[in-house]
């Protein structure tokens, strides 16, 4: 079995993993901002969950843009 990795494969893998980490970061940021606003302003206990949900939506949008750009680049490279 001859299996060969090149630099482009590793770079694509790293971009996909970083997109997933970016989404996790948005979720955590939303959650902790929700905790901050709950403590600071005495808002409801569901605010951290809503913040995490908003972070997940924003993270998914960012991940979609990153993955879509990778897929578009791969399509263009295969056409040439």
* Interval 5-64: pLDDT, tens: 788 888 889 999 999 999 999 999 999 999 999 999 999 999 999 999 999 999 999 999
According to the model, what pLDDT value does residue 1 have? 62
Q: What angle do CA 21, 27, 32 make, to 5 degrees?
A: 125
pTM for this predicted structure: 0.82
Structural contact between residues 31 and 52, judged by C-beta atoms closer than 8 angstroms = yes
The whole-number pLDDT of residue 3 equals 72
């Amino acid at each position: 079995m001859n299996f060969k990795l090149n630099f482009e494969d590793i770079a694509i893998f790293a971009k996909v993993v970083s997109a997933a980490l970016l989404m996790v970061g948005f979720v955590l940021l939303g959650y902790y901002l929700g905790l901050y606003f709950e403590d600071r302003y005495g808002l409801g206990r569901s605010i951290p969950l809503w913040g995490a949900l908003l972070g997940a939506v924003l993270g998914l949008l960012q991940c979609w843009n990153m993955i879509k750009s990778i897929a578009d680049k791969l399509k263009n490279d295969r056409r040439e």
